Amino acid sequence: MQKSGKSQLNISAWTLTNALGLGSDASLQGLQERRSGLRANDLPDIDLQTAIGRIDGIEETMLPEAWQQFDCRNNRLALLGLQQDDFMAQVEMARAKYREDRIGIFMGTSTSGIQEAERAFAHFNQNDALPVNYDYWHSHNLFSLADFVSRVLNLSGPAQVISTACSSSAKVFAAADRHIKAGFCDAAIVGGVDSLCQMTLYGFNSLQLVSGQPCRPADKERDGISIGEAAGYALLEPVETDDHASLRLLGYGESSDAYHISSPHPEGKGARLAMQQALEMADVSASTIDYVNLHGTATPANDASEDKAVLACFGAKTPCSSTKGWTGHTLGAAGITEALFTCLCIENDFIPGSLNTSRVDPDILTNIVLENRSARISRVMTNSFGFGGSNCSLLFGKES
């Protein structure tokens, strides 16, 4: 429970990369043209019939000479993401303003560079030894991501990786806000990077949660997730008195389901609490929220649970949709990806209608928007819920 009043952070720069393409324009165009980034699985080491949100260009991305030891798919994606939207130049300006050791780095990931461990174990199977170039700390370890990003951005402020499954890169906003309030840093880079790997595809498949076709959030026939990969970053700075009508983090809420490690609470108890806390922190009522970007993974249980939570919190009128049909579920990068999607909605005045959803499940009672619509959007809620019953809701808006 947050008791210290509103968050006062501007989102002064941001960038996102996912199956829709590199940089925020690609995401905006994909959302507006209703073009899905999902494709039939074409990963060479994964023999599953499913759709994936794969990003072109990761394999060709080379890490700088000085940071070769960090080489893995996840850090290549981290770098590819950083290189878009002039983000690094804007961080450079912030670095001059705040000092390199006063900018914190809060990154979310669920699996970091685990693909290197997968390869190392395959090698072990054949050779009874790990490959000599397997570097646990710089690739597979979760912190590798924040370590790599801090080196590329030349920052030495407080750094942590949050790994709470699919809420990871939503919770980074809350952590950054609190670290700034406590005086540990003056500004923050928040972000999330998760990349396709065998562990998540075969793991979710073992739980029978992967759809054989592109995911269909809230659809009557929905039958599981499509997994995607993504990178996203935002620069958060305290609001200054002469800032007006800037894009802001208005509130956040975090909770636990205390129900089951890999299934959501059937009534969405924790999810509801997270949304209510975000509203309370921002000191706004649910009726003033113009759009709810759902976690909307497209598993039968998740969408049903979230629907009950959103209905309890917002009623049946507030427009809602999931954007997983565009990108797939990007797991530890879902929070930042969808947070920045909502920023695109605010900046461009539209609500994305749930892609791939043809018939809304009659048991789903919230207002699921199916087609894109133009609308003035000033406040948006975005939900991220993960295994372990970890829930996070973020509230963004344009406030003066």
Q: Does 356 bind another protein (CB under 8 A)?
A: no
Where does residue 67 fall: left (phi above 0), alpha (psi -120 to 50 degrees), or beta otherwise? alpha
Rounded distance, CA 390 to CA 170, Å?
A: 11
Site string (17-56) toward another protein, x via CB under 8 A: ----------------------------------------
Catalytic residue, from 72, 166, 313, 345: name it: 166
140 belongs to the catalytic site: no
Site membership for another protein, residue 273 (CB under 8 A): yes
Q: Is 238 near another protein (CB under 8 A)?
A: no
Closest CA to 382 of 250, 196, 214: 250
User: Binder to another protein among 160, 213, 246, 367 (CB under 8 A)?
Assistant: 160
The H helix count followed by the E strand count for the chain is 11, 17
Catalytic annotation present for 123: no
Tokens at 392, concatenated? 């996070």
The DSSP line for 5-43 is: ----EEEEEEEEEETTEESHHHHHHHHHHT----EE---
For residue 117, state whether it binds another protein (rule: CB under 8 A).
yes
Q: Tokens 């609001």 map to which residue?
A: 239
Q: Which of 34, 43, 83, 184 binds another protein (CB under 8 A)?
A: 184
Rounded Cα distance, 286 and 238, in Å: 25
Binding mask 366-395 for another protein (x = CB under 8 A): --------------------xxxxx-----
Pick from 39, 90, 99, 259 the residue near another protein by CB under 8 A: 259
Judged by beta carbon, residue 171 or residue 324, the one nearer another protein is 171
What is the nearest approach in angstroms of another protein to the Cβ of residue 205?
A: 8
- Does 161 bind another protein (CB under 8 A)? Our answer is yes
Please say which residue, 111 or 366, places its beta carbon nearer to another protein. 111
How many Å is the maximal CA-CA distance in the chain? 63
Residues 25, 10: Cα–Cα separation, whole Å: 20
Q: Which amino acid would we find at residue 219?
A: D
- Other C-beta atoms within 10 Å of 50: how many? 23
**Mask of contacts with another protein, 87-106, x by CB under 8 A?**
--------------x-----
Among positions 6, 34, 181, 220, the unique one binding another protein when judged by CB under 8 A: 181
Q: Which is nearer to another protein, 245 or 258 (CB)?
A: 258
- In the range 191-210, which residues lie near another protein by CB under 8 A? 198-199, 202-207
- State in angstroms the smallest separation of the CB of 91 from another protein: 17
| Cβ closest to another protein, residue 100 vs residue 243 | 100
Known catalytic residue at 329: yes
120 binds another protein (CB under 8 A): yes
Contact present, 371 and 232 (Cβ < 8 Å):
no
Q: Residues 72, 185, 329, 345: which is the catalytic one?
A: 329
Which value, to the nearest 10 degrees, does the dihedral of the CA atoms of residues 325, 226, 21, 232 take? Answer: 100
Among the listed residues 309, 330, 305, the one whose alpha carbon sits nearest the alpha carbon of residue 318 = 309
**125 near another protein, judged by CB under 8 A:** yes
> Distance between CA 183 and CA 169 in Å, rounded?
22
| Residue from 224, 189, 231 nearest 332 by CA | 231
The pair of structure tokens assigned to 358 is 């043809």
Any residues with CB less than 8 A from the CB of 44 and at least 6 apart, and which? none
Q: Kindly tell me which of 1 and 245 has the beta carbon lying closer to another protein.
A: 1
Q: Which of 35, 57, 97, 129 binds another protein (CB under 8 A)?
A: 129
3-state secondary structure of 309: helix
Say whether residue 300 binds another protein (CB under 8 A): no
190 contributes a contact to another protein by CB under 8 A:
no
Single residue of 69, 90, 143, 286 touching another protein by CB under 8 A: 143
Q: How far is residue 390 CA from its own chain's centroid?
A: 14
Which among 61, 11, 20 has a CA at the least distance from the CA of 38?
20
Residues carrying an active site annotation = 166, 295, 329
- List residues near another protein by CB under 8 A: 1-4, 101, 110, 114, 117-118, 120-122, 124-125, 129-130, 134, 136-137, 141-143, 146-147, 150, 156, 158-165, 171, 175, 177-179, 181-184, 198-199, 202-207, 254-262, 269-270, 273, 386-390
